[in-house]
């Protein structure tokens, strides 16, 4: 997807909401300086996930469209029909005529009943293990398992920190191909994420584990091997892992 390759991992230079409907929303201010941590499309839903637990959700219905233009390239629709413009890397990403365009907290995006195609919610009161396993088995078996955990259609709600920490806690190398991770190991990762994410939701930010996340080069708390970091798969999402004790 072109939008993903243009926006993914980048901080937009500028965000504009030309349409009058959004003039009081202050999205340019609220999103300023935040990196786009993910771009997920489900049908006509598009989710632009920003660092800091904010998600721009759009639904195109029949009339809307997303376009990517190089700087200076003429737009195919009039400026007045643009709802959202993001300038990044010599391009403009524009949404036109979008009947649904909203900024959600990640918590709200996770609970939104319209997003029923999402996988089971990692923080749901009951967790459908069988559904999660079925979704995981439908994924490209070559995709590194760490990255598959970020696929919201497999399991909803696991972000980058939790992916890295849960794989570490379960002793699983996030680079192992998904097809080579048995169900019980995948469920072990999820069990950790469920327990610690709920705890963190109750007790706040300080309750988050920080064994490997953003600790590239530091010694592993379990075995002392320097922690490594590298981007994974199509979105190049950074992962952190210990090559000494994660298999
Ligand atoms: Zn280690």
pLDDT at 11: 96
177 DSSP assignment:
B
Q: Is the Cβ–Cβ distance between 244 and 224 less than 8 Å? A: yes
Residue 202 C-alpha to ligand 1 middle, in angstroms?
28
pLDDT at 93: 93
pLDDT at 206: 78
At 197, the pLDDT band (50, 70, 90 cuts) reads confident
174 has pLDDT over 60: yes
Residue 232 C-alpha to ligand 1 middle, in angstroms?
20
The per-residue pLDDT for range 105-156, each reduced to its tens digit, is: 877 776 776 665 778 888 777 899 999 999 999 999 999 999 999 988 899 8
201 has pLDDT over 80: no
pLDDT at 114: 62
Tokens of 69: 């233009």
4 has pLDDT over 90: no
Q: Is the Cβ–Cβ distance between 148 and 136 less than 8 Å? A: yes
Angle at 155 between CA 194 and CA 131, to 5 degrees: 100
Residue 231 C-alpha to ligand 1 middle, in angstroms?
19
3-state helix, strand, coil in the chain (%, to 5): 30, 25, 45
pLDDT at 207: 81
At 239, which helix (H) or strand (E)? strand 237-241
- The overall average pLDDT reported for the chain is 89
186 has pLDDT over 60: yes
The per-residue pLDDT for range 69-79, each reduced to its tens digit, is: 998 899 988 88
Residue 223 C-alpha to ligand 1 middle, in angstroms?
4
98 has pLDDT over 80: no
Residue 245 C-alpha to ligand 1 middle, in angstroms?
4
Compute the half-sphere exposure of residue 131: CA atoms within 13 Å on the CB side of its CA: 14
1 has pLDDT over 60: no
Residue 69 C-alpha to ligand 1 middle, in angstroms?
45
Residue 114 C-alpha to ligand 1 middle, in angstroms?
41
Helix H segments across the chain? 2-7, 27-31, 106-111, 129-138, 145-148, 160-169, 183-203
pLDDT at 113: 63
With b for 16 or more beta-carbon neighbours within 10 A and e for fewer, the 120-158 pattern comes to bbbbeeebeeeebbebbeebeeebbbbbbbbbbebbbbb
The per-residue pLDDT for range 207-228, each reduced to its tens digit, is: 889 999 999 999 999 999 999 9
């Amino acid at each position: 997807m072109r939008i993903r390759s243009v926006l993914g991992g980048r901080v937009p230079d500028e965000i504009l909401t030309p349409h009058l409907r959004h003039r009081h929303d202050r999205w340019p201010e609220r999103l300023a300086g935040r990196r786009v941590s993910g771009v997920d499309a489900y049908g006509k839903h598009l989710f632009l996930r920003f660092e800091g637990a904010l998600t721009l959700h759009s639904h195109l219905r029949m009339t809307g469209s997303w376009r990517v233009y190089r700087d200076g390239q003429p737009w195919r629709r009039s400026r007045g029909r643009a709802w959202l413009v993001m300038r990044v890397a010599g391009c403009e990403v524009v949404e036109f005529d979008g009947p649904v365009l909203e900024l959600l907290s990640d918590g709200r995006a996770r609970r939104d009943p319209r997003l029923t195609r999402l996988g089971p919610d990692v923080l749901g009161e009951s967790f459908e293990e069988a559904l999660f396993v079925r979704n995981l088995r439908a994924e490209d078996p070559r995709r590194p398992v760490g990255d598959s955990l970020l696929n919201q259609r497999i399991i909803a709600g696991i972000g980058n920190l939790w992916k890295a920490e849960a794989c570490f806690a379960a002793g699983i190398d996030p680079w192992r191909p998904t097809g080579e991770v048995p169900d019980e190991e995948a469920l072990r990762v999820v069990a950790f994420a469920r327990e610690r994410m709920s705890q963190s939701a109750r007790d706040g930010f300080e309750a988050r584990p920080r064994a490997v996340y953003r600790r590239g080069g530091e010694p592993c708390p379990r075995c002392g091997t320097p922690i490594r970091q590298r981007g994974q798969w199509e979105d190049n999402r950074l992962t952190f892992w210990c090559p000494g004790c994660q298999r």
